[in-house]
């Protein structure tokens, strides 16, 4: 056989002692087996609640629950990837089943890590701790296996623990099958669910679980943790490099440790990991490039901005990431503008505290807001472009050319002064907010209302929450004559036939007096809706004729007025109270008028 002979005529190599006890022929040195490398995310995975970082609220709540023996039967752990959901579930499983070094301990928030249960759970080989990935086990049959397993007591542990990761991936039928068991599980069973999409979990499941929202780990906490890991691995790394990794991790411990693992492998053996290496690894532009770019854009220096872009591209920076870094810097500068004390603390990197504070002092909030909006739109254009670099350069050119444009308010004032518009007609910096007028008059509060105008009748119907009557009076009723207790109306063809009768009944119920609602063929005053539309058209015509608007149209060809809202009418003054005599002896209509022009609802 091939491999057993040096050539076709060579004798076979003995594989063990001969029948006569002779030693086998030495076959060479023992093979060297490569030891499997454990990535940092697994090697430094927390095994106790004390080792969980950035989740103080969760740890405090669970410790109190163990101390008071008030441990829920089901937990829902939610948060972004890599914040410790599955790790927390495994720590819970050990805490529930730990027996202590002497084998007599009970549930504890500080598992010993040396008892049989702790060791087996830590090695992922405990028969009573079942982990299921719902992403690949989504059906009813998978859930039925779990339900069937809950009927049997634990084999060696105190409590059976079912850990279901990415539980939101279960089908609707699978969730429904789980509900009854989840609501009333056996006393020896605990469920721990983990998900990154809590909104996809049915509310019926959430209501049966104790929910914990695991937070993104802050950058400073991540950086401190990564420094400890690097020290334990005897790896030298610059603080700026650690901070870059912590920021790129976006609150995820696992993502950050994976990036640190990559940086260690990228660096030369024994060399200190620097910020340049990490920036090159992440495809990030040097932070100094971003500040240089911001200063060039703010100064409107196109050639300088494109030069910075060229240098960043030569170092391998992604145009999209560069634009995103510029957007992030705009946010940081806005924060520094709003909270200057940020430059005095350690929450921001040194370059943002120094150069950032100087830039923030020189830029205005409106300019930063305009930059933010243009970058948001521009990043989408760069992502969709076939040539990302060209698209990014076009965004920079656009930003440079609008850098010195005046704000909308300054532009209007400049146009006003150039057009000779009186100062009284120019917009004010901070106009006093005008009080919002009540369209239909003040609310009616008395039992017998002040019905001096037809608008008061509409206001009364609105106050009594008669929406149908209010709407019909606004749209279809044109007042010909209003002499309480007689109202003469011209109704539109769309008005219902019983509108006058319903209005009479409504007013009689409100005032205790009989009202006559007469229908007339005369035109009457416009309805409330018609009057508002007329006012809107008039306001639009007045706006078009305004010299300031004409100046804007002349400066910006193609501009148009989207909408014009007319000024609200002045609030109706409260009319004097009507006495019984006023109502009884109000001038009635003559019989001839009624015969000639009206149809009276009886």
Q: What is the pLDDT of residues 440-483, one digit of tens each?
A: 333 333 333 778 888 889 999 999 899 999 998 999 999 998 88
Q: Are residues 367 and 471 both part of a single domain?
A: no
- The per-residue pLDDT for 423 is 54
Q: Are residues 303 and 158 both part of a single domain?
A: no
Domain harbouring 85, CATH code: 3.40.50.300
- The per-residue pLDDT for 3 is 43
Residue 21: is it exposed, middle or buried by C-beta count within 10 angstroms (0-12/13-18/19+)? exposed
Residue 12 lies in a domain: no
Q: Are residues 341 and 298 both part of a single domain?
A: yes
pLDDT digits 0-9 by tens, 110-131 = 999 899 999 999 988 999 999 9
| Phi, psi for residue 81 in degrees, rounded to 5 | -65, 145
pLDDT reading at 132 higher than 80: yes
Q: Are residues 250 and 343 both part of a single domain?
A: no
Q: Are residues 460 and 584 both part of a single domain?
A: yes
Average pLDDT over the chain, rounded to whole? 81
- Secondary element (H or E) of residue 76: strand 74-78
- Binned at pLDDT 50, 70 and 90, residue 530 comes out as confident
Residue 387 lies in a domain: yes
**304 or 286, higher pLDDT:** 304
Please state whether beta strands 189-195 and 74-78 pair in parallel, antiparallel, or not at all (unpaired): parallel
Q: Which domain holds residue 489?
A: 454-530+573-596
- The per-residue pLDDT for 8 is 47
- The per-residue pLDDT for 565 is 72
Q: Are residues 306 and 203 both part of a single domain?
A: no
pLDDT reading at 595 higher than 50: no
- Binned at pLDDT 50, 70 and 90, residue 569 comes out as low
Please state whether beta strands 210-213 and 74-78 pair in parallel, antiparallel, or not at all (unpaired): parallel
- Secondary element (H or E) of residue 132: strand 129-133
Residue 377 lies in a domain: yes
Tell me the CA end-to-end span of the chain in Å, nearest whole number. 118
Contact (Cβ atoms closer than 8 angstroms) between residue 56 and residue 172: no
- The per-residue pLDDT for 135 is 83
* pLDDT mean over 403-414: 66
Give the pair of three-digit tokens for residue 45: 């995975």
- The per-residue pLDDT for 285 is 53
Q: Are residues 113 and 135 both part of a single domain?
A: yes
Residue 523 lies in a domain: yes
* pLDDT mean over 56-82: 92
Give the pair of three-digit tokens for residue 313: 């591209």
Contact (Cβ atoms closer than 8 angstroms) between residue 181 and residue 147: yes
Q: Are residues 93 and 188 both part of a single domain?
A: yes
- The per-residue pLDDT for 441 is 37
Total domains in the fold of the chain: 4
Residue 187 lies in a domain: yes
Final residue before a domain boundary, out of 336, 370, 401: 401
Domain harbouring 273, CATH code: 1.10.8.60
Residue 384 lies in a domain: yes
- The per-residue pLDDT for 513 is 87
Residue 565 lies in a domain: no
Residue 165: helix, strand or coil by DSSP?
strand
Domain harbouring 379, CATH code: 1.20.272.10
Q: Are residues 262 and 278 both part of a single domain?
A: yes
- HEC per residue, 432-500: CCCCCCCCCCCCCCCCCCCCCCHHHHHHHHHHCCCHHHHHHHHHHEEEEEEECCEEEEEECCCCCCCHH
pLDDT reading at 568 higher than 80: no
Q: Are residues 467 and 589 both part of a single domain?
A: yes
| Phi, psi for residue 51 in degrees, rounded to 5 | -85, -10
- Binned at pLDDT 50, 70 and 90, residue 342 comes out as confident
pLDDT digits 0-9 by tens, 413-422 = 666 666 555 5
pLDDT digits 0-9 by tens, 183-223 = 888 999 999 999 999 999 999 999 999 999 999 998 889 99
pLDDT reading at 9 higher than 70: no
Q: Are residues 180 and 322 both part of a single domain?
A: no
- The per-residue pLDDT for 7 is 47
- Binned at pLDDT 50, 70 and 90, residue 404 comes out as low
């Amino acid at each position: 056989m091939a491999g057993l002979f040096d050539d076709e005529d060579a004798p076979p190599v003995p594989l063990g002692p001969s029948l006569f006890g002779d030693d086998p022929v030495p076959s060479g040195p023992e093979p060297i087996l490569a030891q499997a490398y454990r990535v940092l995310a697994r090697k430094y995975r927390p095994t106790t609640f004390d080792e969980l970082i950035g989740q103080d609220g969760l740890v405090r709540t669970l410790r109190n629950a163990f101390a008071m023996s008030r441990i829920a039967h089901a937990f829902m752990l939610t948060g972004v990837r890599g914040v410790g959901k599955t790790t927390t579930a495994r720590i819970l499983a050990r805490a529930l089943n730990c027996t202590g070094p002497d084998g007599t301990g009970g549930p504890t928030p500080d598992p010993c890590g040396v008892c049989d249960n702790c060791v087996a759970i830590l090695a992922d080989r405990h028969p009573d701790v079942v982990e299921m990935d719902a992403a690949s086990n989504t059906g009813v049959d998978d859930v039925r296996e779990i339900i069937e397993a809950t009927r049997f007591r634990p084999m060696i542990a105190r409590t059976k623990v079912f850990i279901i990761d990415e539980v939101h991936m279960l089908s609707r039928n699978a969730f429904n099958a789980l509900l009854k068991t989840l609501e009333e599980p056996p006393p020896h069973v605990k469920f721990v669910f983990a998900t990154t999409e809590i909104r996809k979990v049915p509310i019926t499941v959430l209501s049966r679980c104790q929910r914990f929202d695991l937070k993104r780990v802050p950058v400073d906490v991540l950086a401190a943790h990564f420094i400890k890991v690097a020290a334990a691995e005897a790896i030298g790394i610059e603080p700026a490099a650690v901070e870059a990794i912590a920021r790129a991790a976006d609150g995820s411990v696992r993502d950050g440790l994976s990036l640190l693992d990559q940086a260690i492998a990228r660096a030369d053996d024994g060399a200190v990991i620097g910020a340049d290496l990490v920036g090159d690894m992440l495809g990030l532009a040097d932070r100094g490039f971003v500040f240089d770019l911001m200063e060039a854009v703010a100064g409107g220096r196109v050639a300088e901005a494109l030069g910075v872009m060229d240098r960043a591209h030569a170092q391998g920076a992604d145009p999209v990431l560069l634009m995103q870094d510029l957007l992030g810097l705009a946010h940081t500068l806005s924060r520094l503008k709003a909270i200057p004390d940020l430059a005095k603390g350690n929450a921001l990197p040194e370059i943002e505290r120094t150069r950032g504070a100087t830039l923030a002092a020189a830029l205005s909030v409106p300019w930063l807001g305009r930059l933010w909006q243009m970058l948001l739109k521009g990043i989408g254009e760069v992502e969709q472009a076939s040539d990302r670099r060209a698209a990014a350069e076009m965004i920079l050119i656009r930003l440079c050319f609008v850098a010195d444009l005046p704000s909308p308010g300054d532009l209007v004032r400049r146009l006003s002064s150039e057009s000779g518009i009186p100062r009284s007609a120019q917009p004010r910096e901070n106009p006093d907010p005008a009080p919002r007028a009540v369209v239909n008059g003040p609310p009616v509060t008395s039992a017998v209302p002040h019905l001096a105008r037809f608008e008061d009748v509409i206001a009364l119907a609105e106050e009594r929450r008669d929406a149908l009557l209010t709407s019909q009076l606004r749209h279809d009723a044109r007042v010909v004559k209003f002499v309480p207790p007689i109202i003469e109306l011209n109704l539109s063809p769309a008005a219902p036939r019983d509108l006058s009768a319903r209005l009479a009944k409504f007013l009689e119920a409100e005032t205790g007096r009989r009202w006559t609602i007469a229908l007339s063929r005369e035109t009457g005053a416009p309805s409330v809706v018609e009057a508002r539309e007329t006012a809107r058209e008039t306001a639009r015509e007045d706006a078009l004729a305004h010299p300031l608007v004409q100046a804007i149209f002349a400066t910006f060809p193609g501009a148009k007025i989207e909408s014009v809202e007319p000024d609200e009418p002045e609030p109706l003054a409260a009319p004097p109270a009507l006495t019984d005599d006023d109502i009884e002896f109000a001038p009635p209509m003559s019989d001839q008028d009624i015969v000639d022009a009206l149809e009276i609802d009886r």
